[in-house]
Structure 1
Amino acid sequence: MAYMIDRCPSEDSPRLGAMTLYPVAESVSLSRRWFRKFIAPYNPACSVDDCVLMISELVTNAIVYGQSDEVWRVRVEWFREGASLKVDVHNAGFPARVKLRRPDAVDAHGRGLLLVDSIADSWQCGPSRFGGTVVSFVMADAWPT
């Protein structure tokens, strides 16, 4: 597993950190642990627990639905954009496959994006600059302006 962290965000480099994960189940718990560790020095006012939950759901979706004929990784990046925290999760899947579902009470799956939709101030999906798909969420007012 690999990870990278930027210690000195600036206007030219708003990225606070990033991690690259293998598309395996163990990466979900690693993403939670690493994000919690690496965001702590920035002391965001938003709920880190909520962010960890959403990252966990999006990394799980990336692992389950990402696909490629080549070796691929899941990439998670987090940024400070003004007073907001933005988190991107990149995978090798196709943007058209990202759909918000409304599962029945008896459905065992399908609640990941529903959780993101209900917790985040906003979320979106589209083509990733690395190829594949990126799903992003924003937590507004994560830092005082």
Structure 2
Amino acid sequence: MSYLIDRHPSSDSPRLGAMTLHPVAESVPRARRWFRKFIAPYNPACSVDDCVLMVSELVTNAIVHGYSDDPWIVQIEWFREGASLRVDVHNPGYPANVRLRRPGADEAHGRGLLLVDSIAESWRSGPSRFGGTVVSFVMADAWPDS
């Protein structure tokens, strides 16, 4: 797995969908449900269940770690990049605060990015074009016939 800090995300990829969520716990199951519904018409060959798990983890992290003095939202976008699927989760947090942890067996939290790191082809974090932070993952061969 690879981890990249991307300060200039590509805007050349066609966006397949997007969601805007309030930073509340109820948004996590909503993100899972709607991502599954919105990605289905594109019939990706990669595991949608794995993507839904990673979306859930990143939205949870965005809600828990996002911060702003003003009202804010979590934004999710997904893109087709050749044969790959890229999912971006944006929040108003600080990019430097995103880090892969290796929690102990007795710790209840801290495994979200570890899951993403173990499932995705790659992931990255950096400044969001909306301000704040974006954390993204890529699933290779989502459309292998491309």
**In structure 2, what is the equivalent of residue 16 of structure 1?**
16
Q: Please list every run of at least 4 consecutive aligned residues from structure 1 whose deviation after the TM superposition is greater than 2 angstroms.
A: none
1:39 and 2:33 correspond: no
Give the C-alpha shift of residue 112 in structure 1: 0.1
**In structure 1, what is the equivalent of residue 4 of structure 2?**
none
SS in 1 for 2:79: strand
**In structure 2, what is the equivalent of residue 9 of structure 1?**
none
**In structure 2, what is the equivalent of residue 107 of structure 1?**
107
How far apart in 2 are the matches of 1:40 and 1:137? 18
SS in 1 for 2:61: helix
**In structure 2, what is the equivalent of residue 82 of structure 1?**
82
How far apart in 2 are the matches of 1:72 and 1:107? 29
**In structure 1, what is the equivalent of residue 6 of structure 2?**
none
Q: AA paired with 1:86? A: R
**In structure 2, what is the equivalent of residue 3 of structure 1?**
none
How far apart in 1 are the matches of 2:141 and 2:108? 33
SS in 2 for 1:103: coil
**In structure 2, what is the equivalent of residue 95 of structure 1?**
95
How far apart in 1 are the matches of 2:13 and 2:65? 30
Question: CA offsets per residue over residues 101-131 of structure 1, 9 Å max, x none?
Answer: 0000110000000000000000000000000
Q: AA paired with 1:96? A: A
Question: CA offsets per residue over residues 27-77 of structure 1, 9 Å max, x none?
Answer: 000000000000000000000000000000000000000000111100000
How far apart in 1 are the matches of 2:25 and 2:63? 7
Q: Where does structure 1 lack aligned partners over 5 or more consecutive residues?
A: 1-11
SS in 2 for 1:75: strand
How far apart in 2 are the matches of 1:13 and 1:61? 25
TM-score (norm 2): 0.90
Q: AA paired with 2:87? A: V
TM-score (norm 1): 0.91
* Percent of aligned pairs sharing the same letter: 82
Give the C-alpha shift of residue 13 in structure 1: 5.9
1:124 and 2:124 correspond: yes
Give the C-alpha shift of residue 140 in structure 1: 0.5
* Contact 2:85-2:139 within 8 A present in 1 as well: yes
Equivalent residues, number: 135
* Contact 2:80-2:86 within 8 A present in 1 as well: yes
How far apart in 2 are the matches of 1:13 and 1:46? 18
Q: Where does structure 2 lack aligned partners over 5 or more consecutive residues?
A: 1-11
